[in-house]
Structure 1
Amino acid sequence: MKQYDFLLAIFITFIWGINFSFIKLGLNSIDPFLLSGIRFLLCSFPLIFFIKRPNIPMKYIISYGLLFGVGLWGIVSLGIYFGISAGIASLVLQLSAFFTVILASIILKESIDISKKLAFIIAIFGLCLIINVTDGSVTFLGLILVLVGALSMSFTNIIVKKANSKDIFSFIIWASIFSPIPLFILAYLTHGDTVFTNFFYNLNKTAIFSILFQIYPTTLFGYWIWNNLLHKYPASSVAPMGLMVPIFGLLGSYFILDEELGFIKIVASIFIIFALIINSYGEKILQKICRT
């Protein structure tokens, strides 16, 4: 990978990592479902009027929009709202890599090698450590919600694989139009019409910045650049760069939100990141060992 593209990939993971902290800042004044709904509404409008729909079946666009907008980011925002720290949320969400392996085995009939099984066991051990964090930065409900978000993210990976669309930017814009209405309905069902009537009263500069950061750097710019890199280089060269997301997520929560980095969190992070490395490189390492 060229140095410029390498630095660009690191920059995207930095954006995605600190995004969790900015989500939490926005949740201080805006309902989690409403915050996510506005994010995806503005991801779609007005660009949808100028960007041609990708040439793939609508079932993939609709299902991706619902899972990516509602199942992933709506639920993750709710998890952060219910007490899980931004840094831990960014880390737990990476478990989607292992859920994707399991789903790919069931749906796409892909085999699971021994290195991926080992990686999953190590990741589960890291998750057990997170459950035992007692500094108030992890709540059981928040953790469960982020795990649901990780599972939803895994399903979106399968959808992208089956849709086989090369125009990811158009795909994201058109899929985003199916996210806001379900999110707004969930906001109404959980908190009533006050989330809408008090919206402008609660809207402040921090909330506006949170919304804009989630729309443009995180979603539109981030996913556009990332998928361009995936088309330019082998996936094995690009995907492992995502390991930097939880690192920046934890550092972002420490510097932006002043959240404590305790010993158990650090050890749990090491286990999960180590598991992700094995998941990404384990098969190649085993092949080299066998050849020698």
Structure 2
Amino acid sequence: MPVRDWLAALAVISAWGINFVVIKVGLHEIPPLLLGGLRFGLVAFPAVFFIKRPLLAWRSLLLYALTLSFGQFVFLFTAIYVGMPAGLASLVLQSQAFFTVLIAALFLGERVRWPNVLGIVVAVLGLVLIEQGALPGSVSVLGFILTLCAALSWACGNIVVKRIGKVDMLGLVVWAALIPPIPFFVLSWVIEGPARIRHSLLSISAVGVASVIYLALVATIVGYVLWGRLLGRHPVSKIAPLSLLIPVIGLVSSWLLLGEHLSLIQWVGGAVVMLGLALNVFGLQFAQKIFSGKARN
């Protein structure tokens, strides 16, 4: 992979790692469904008036919007809101790498090799340790499940991007952002209520505004454009697992900025998940080197 693509991947990883802290901060002032609507509303407007619509069917735009945008964040925002720690969410969400590999095998015909299977098994064990090692009241079971749902939605979105192929990613991100605010605002009106919406908007602080701006411009426009271009240039099985560095940044930033702490068992579980991700990315390459070395001997 070219150096510029590695730098792009590093930029996305950093933006998305800190993203979880920003979400947690934003949710202190704005309820999750309203926050989702504001995020994608700011992505779409006013940019949609200056950026051309990408040359693809509205059906593809709809699938992209409902998976990577609405589906992922309606689950993730709600998960963090109901008690999922930001740092832990950044780790559990990376199960999208395994969901992506499995879905790519089913719908794109990409081969699932034994390191992928082993990595999935190891990562699932790590997720079980994380859930079981939670201190009483520190992790919401509902939040944990919702984060896994967010990971599945992200994985489905990765496949949509792969099927779309080469496209103007900036145009895709901006025009697809027209769709999520509709279900977000409707659900916010029904579930969170007009009184709460009005109070949140009238009492929002500079920190709350900055959170929305970061989520819209940095995490969404910059992050998705770069990530989509990487998926378009390289195999899904090579790009998706690069996200294994996101929880490192997410956990460290949550510890430094939010004072979040994990139990010893959860740290072990996190290490096991990272091991599973590493097996998924590097397992086949490592095995080939070992067997080729034995063959030469």
More divergent stretch after superposition (183-192 vs 102-111): 102-111
Distance 1:202 1:264, change over 3 A: farther
Aligned residues, how many?
292
Equivalent residue number for residue 175 of structure 1 = 176
Equivalent residue number for residue 37 of structure 2 = 37
Q: TM (normalized to structure 1)?
A: 0.92
Equivalent residue number for residue 52 of structure 2 = 52
User: What is the letter of the counterpart of residue 92 of structure 1?
Assistant: V
Equivalent residue number for residue 274 of structure 2 = 273
Equivalent residue number for residue 75 of structure 1 = 75
Equivalent residue number for residue 157 of structure 1 = 158
Equivalent residue number for residue 194 of structure 2 = 193
Structure 1 Cα separation of the partners of residues 118 and 238 of structure 2:
22
Task: Judge conservation of contact 1:26–1:210 (CA < 8 Å) in 2.
Answer: yes
For residue 147 of structure 1, give the secondary structure of its aligned residue in structure 2: helix
Task: Judge conservation of contact 1:187–1:195 (CA < 8 Å) in 2.
Answer: no
CA displacement at 1:186 relative to structure 2: 1.4
Q: TM (normalized to structure 2)?
A: 0.91
Equivalent residue number for residue 224 of structure 2 = 223
For residue 109 of structure 2, give the secondary structure of its aligned residue in structure 1: coil
More divergent stretch after superposition (226-235 vs 214-223): 226-235
Equivalent residue number for residue 210 of structure 1 = 211
User: What is the letter of the counterpart of residue 197 of structure 1?
Assistant: R
CA displacement at 1:228 relative to structure 2: 4.6
For residue 245 of structure 2, give the secondary structure of its aligned residue in structure 1: helix
CA displacement, residues 146-173 of structure 1 (integer Å, 9 cap, x when unaligned):
1110110111011111111331111111
More divergent stretch after superposition (110-119 vs 77-86): 110-119
Equivalent residue number for residue 108 of structure 2 = 108
Task: Judge conservation of contact 1:126–1:269 (CA < 8 Å) in 2.
Answer: yes
For residue 198 of structure 1, give the secondary structure of its aligned residue in structure 2: helix
Gaps of 5+ in 2: none
Gaps of 5+ in 1: none
Task: Judge conservation of contact 1:34–1:195 (CA < 8 Å) in 2.
Answer: no
Question: What's the Cα RMSD here?
Answer: 2.1
User: What is the letter of the counterpart of residue 46 of structure 1?
Assistant: P
Task: Judge conservation of contact 1:30–1:202 (CA < 8 Å) in 2.
Answer: no
Structure 2 Cα separation of the partners of residues 244 and 74 of structure 1:
23
Distance 1:239 1:102, change over 3 A: closer
Task: Judge conservation of contact 2:23–2:211 (CA < 8 Å) in 1.
Answer: yes
Equivalent residue number for residue 282 of structure 1 = 283
For residue 83 of structure 2, give the secondary structure of its aligned residue in structure 1: coil
CA displacement at 1:242 relative to structure 2: 2.1
Equivalent residue number for residue 93 of structure 2 = 93
Structure 2 Cα separation of the partners of residues 235 and 218 of structure 1:
20
Describe how 1:23-34 pairs up with structure 2 within 5 A. Answer: 23-34=23-34
Equivalent residue number for residue 118 of structure 1 = 118
User: What is the letter of the counterpart of residue 272 of structure 1?
Assistant: V
Equivalent residue number for residue 19 of structure 2 = 19
Task: Judge conservation of contact 1:22–1:210 (CA < 8 Å) in 2.
Answer: yes
CA displacement, residues 87-116 of structure 1 (integer Å, 9 cap, x when unaligned):
110101100111112212222233311111
Structure 2 Cα separation of the partners of residues 80 and 61 of structure 1:
27
Structure 2 Cα separation of the partners of residues 165 and 64 of structure 1:
14
